[in-house]
Every structure is written in structure tokens, then in C-alpha cells.
A and B are shown apart, each in its own frame.
Chain A
């Protein structure tokens, strides 16, 4: 067994092992240490003695033993009489039904995901903890993916764990009435992970971990039986349909290619097919949430041969529905582009006026980028150039700044990024 194989087994088993231990013993932190020790034991033992038939069960058994040993030695110091009681728990831990059962493994993953996305944690902490505990990534890998020093990430993770202990998050499922909120928070964290990976992976910028793939993998593990699972399917479809464009969204030098200019032959047709299929199944059920709507919009783009041939009328309808369900300035911006494609640039520009005045948008480069694009469409090139320059000043993304500067420097008439 190579190190890569071991890593693979570990990543698949980690949430099950940690979830099973957390559920049984309730101490997340100690469980994580015990799991690390079990993995170390596996790295020594498996290459010599072969990989066990059920690596997850093996890891759970060994980690349980370590956890109980630790409890026992701590207890022994304080009260030797209690050791016998813990031995009972140890025997229970070896029962094969609990260790090997697939339905338990599934529940454990969901439980752990919900725990990691507890509302008492900040969004950044939820993301970090989810990747660490459920994704099985190392702190160093997570830190690299988010471009912060390892010490910062370690602090974020350890603080999150402390916070969970403080609020006594426990290791049981939240009450039924809390579940919708908790699931929303979980979906939000998974989408954040996806976006972090998608927006930072341009061209040559390679990390050893793909956050987009990790987010897709984790989202796939959420079972269909959860309340609001249509939105989970919508989220997965959105990720697949967006990630399908990965091969076309950056040039070799790392510069961004806007949707309008992408070589659609390089889109991943298998991912598009899977995303569309998922979406078709849930859309017929009628519980339309924001992720399903965004996925539907991405699906319309993926069906079009080109930017011009896109079914813009349908995109307008979908963005209006999204605007009703989950209004935001970003939705208005995208709607304005779609409206401009159907009714002409002036109709789109009129929709932007309220955004230009909104204080929350005063530092948002995208309003100005979209405005520049629509001005260009209507032939007002001087105003377009100024709007591109403003957008270039405001963006903090280096590839976007290069792109916007090039637009501000002339080159009118080229197609520009718009709605997704």
C-alpha cells in the first residue's frame, strides 16, 4: 500500500470514523486525536500486514481503543474504581454492527457536517472545521488553499473546537425545528468552499488540494432523505455545471476568460450531463430554492452554442424568480445583463442606477464592470472606458484588474463578461 493509497482510504474513512467516535463518546477534540493515532498505526501496520477488508471499521476499532485507553488512564489517576465501567464501553465499541453498518457511516458524516457548521461558529470557522474534520485535509493544506499561514488556520480550527465545547454542541442531531437552519448553514459552507476553489484556481495557480472537488465530494455525501434535499441536489448541480467550465475559464498565462468568450468545446460534457440530470429530477418536484434556480441558469448557459445564441428570455425569467426568492445586488446585476440581451442595453442600464447609489455597493467593482459593458453595447465608448477604469481601480482580483485595465485602455467592441 502506497502513501497515496493510504491517504485515499483515510480521506474516505475520516468522516465516518470521526463521526462514529464523536457520536459515541461526545468529545470531538479527543476523538480527533485518537483518529490521528489510529491512522499512524495504520500507516505502520497495513503495509506489513495488508489492508483490512473494512478499513473504516478497523480505524474505528483502533481509534476507540486509543480513546478509551486515554480516558482510562486519566480516570485511573483520579478514580481507579471507574475503570471497570469504561471497559463496558470498550466492549461495545468492538461490536461489528455499529462499526461496519453503512447506514451508521452515512448518519455519522451528516452529523459531523452539521456539527462543523454549528451557528455558533463564524463562516470562516465552519469552512475550516468542515475541511479538517469531514474532508480529512491537514491544517497545512487548508492554510495553503486559503493563503494564510498555518498558525492562523490552526488557531481558527482550535478556536472553533473550543467554541463548540463552550456551547455544548454535543454530538446528537439538532432538534427537528432547528434542522432547516442548520442545513442551510451547511449548504452555505459547502458553497463557500466550492467558490473559494473555483475563483482562486486560475491557470498556473495550482494547489495540492482542489477545494472545488472537495466541496463536490462532500455535497455528494449528503443523503436524499434530508429535509430540503432538493436544494442539496440543486447545490450539487450548480457546482457540477459551474465546475464544468473550468477548462475554458483561464488562458495558459492565468488570465481570465469571461463566459462570453469561452471556448465551449472545452466544457466538461460529462459534468454538464450529470448536473442537468440532477436538476431535471428535482425541478419537477416544485420546491424551488435559490441553488436550484442558479443551477437552472447555469444549465441554460451550458445548453447554448455561444453567448449570442443563449436563451436570454429564459435567463431573464429565472433571474426574476431568483430575485423574488433571494434578492441581492448580485442578482440585480446579472438580471440587468440578461435584460440588456433581450431588450437592449438601455433597459439594462436603467436597472443599474439604484445600485450605483447604494452605499453597500460603492466599493463593488462589478457594478461598474457591468455598466461599462452595457455602455459599450450601446455605443457610448467614452463612458464605457471610464466605467472600465473605475471597475479596474476597485477590484482586488489581479486577473480581473488586468482584464478591466485592458478594456479601459481601448479595444472597444470585444464581447465582455456578463451574467452566469
Chain B
């Protein structure tokens, strides 16, 4: 089963890893950041070794976004962040694992200061006839 782990964060200024650019992240002592880095690296090694890691991308500043609205006359493009979201999508991971429980276990480890993690199952084009 495939799941996306979406990382929402508002780093100021925009930068990766986002955890060190958020207000909450700046309040965390350096030793704790180092510890989190080590844990995250261990998690990445684990997911790569198990074949559960599929892909991941860090996203550029929301200010660099272009939004496309649709109308019957044609599309309308505007520059700038998607104003309706308070937290911006900063990056995502795609994982492929055996169960929802495993996906939850992995996603929980992405929790970071000044960010929110969202775990969502991916849809797939199959299904059974039961």
C-alpha cells in the first residue's frame, strides 16, 4: 500500500530542512537538532534498506508558485502562494508499506518543531469483486 507523508511548515525564511527555520525550531537546542538529524538519517537508511522508500521531494518557496484557476473562457494564471492555506506544503515522501499501522509508525517519526505531518493513503486503480 502506498502512502504520502506530507510535510506542512512555514519556515522563515523558507529553507530546508524546515525544522531549523521555524520559530519553534529555533527554540530547540542544537544538541536536540543533532539528535533528531541522527534519528532521521537512521529512519531513511531503514526505509531505503527495506524497500519501503519510493520517492521524496523538498519544495521551493511558496512565493515561487504559479496558481492556475479554471473558467469556461480559459485558465487564469497568478503568481504567488496558495493564499487559502495557512501551512504550506514544504515537501513530501512517498512510501510503500505492508499496513496502515506501519505507515503510521513511520509518519509519526516525521513530526518536527513548527510543522505538521499529514499521512494520506494513495488511491490505486484496482479493486476486488468481493
A binds B: yes
Give the nearest-CB partner of A420 in chain B. B130
Chain A 121-153, CB-CB to B under 8 Å as 1, else 0, gives: 011110010000000000000000011110011
B1 neighbours in A (Cβ, 8 Å): 396
Q: What's the nearest-Cβ distance from chain A to residue B78, in Å?
A: 31
Q: What's the nearest-Cβ distance from chain A to residue B116, in Å?
A: 20
Pull 8 A–B residue pairs with CB atoms less than 8 Å apart, ordered by A: A123-B98, A153-B51, A159-B51, A202-B126, A256-B128, A258-B130, A397-B123, A417-B130
Of B49, B100, B125, B130, which is within 8 A of A399 by CB? B125
Q: Interface size of A by Cβ–Cβ distance < 8 Å?
A: 44
A417 neighbours in B (Cβ, 8 Å): 129-130
Give the nearest-CB partner of A146 in chain B. B96
Q: How far is the CA of A156 from the CA of B50 in the complex (A)?
A: 6
A123, A149, A403 interface centre (most CB from chain B within 10 Å)? A149
Known interface pairs A122-B98, A396-B121; A419-B129 also in contact (CB < 8 Å):
no
Q: What's the nearest-Cβ distance from chain B to residue A75, in Å?
A: 31
Report whether B96 and A148 are in contact in the complex, using a CB–CB cutoff of 8 Å. Answer: yes
Report whether B51 and A156 are in contact in the complex, using a CB–CB cutoff of 8 Å. Answer: yes
Tell me, yes or no, whether A401 is within 8 Å of chain B by CB: yes
Interface residues in chain B, defined as those with a beta carbon under 8 Å from any beta carbon in chain A: 1-2, 48-51, 53-55, 96, 98, 100, 121-130
Q: What's the nearest-Cβ distance from chain A to residue B54, in Å?
A: 5
Q: How far is the CA of A200 from the CA of B2 in the complex (A)?
A: 14
Report whether B129 and A398 are in contact in the complex, using a CB–CB cutoff of 8 Å. Answer: no
Q: How far is the CA of A363 from the CA of B129 in the complex (A)?
A: 19
Report whether B50 and A122 are in contact in the complex, using a CB–CB cutoff of 8 Å. Answer: yes
Tell me, yes or no, whether A205 is within 8 Å of chain B by CB: yes
Tell me, yes or no, whether A25 is within 8 Å of chain B by CB: no
The 7 closest A-B pairs by CB, nearest first: A156-B51, A200-B126, A397-B127, A400-B127, A399-B127, A396-B121, A199-B126
Q: What's the nearest-Cβ distance from chain A to residue B1, in Å?
A: 7
Report whether B127 and A398 are in contact in the complex, using a CB–CB cutoff of 8 Å. Answer: yes
B126 neighbours in A (Cβ, 8 Å): 199-202, 205, 397, 399
Q: What's the nearest-Cβ distance from chain B to residue A338, in Å?
A: 12
B121 neighbours in A (Cβ, 8 Å): 396
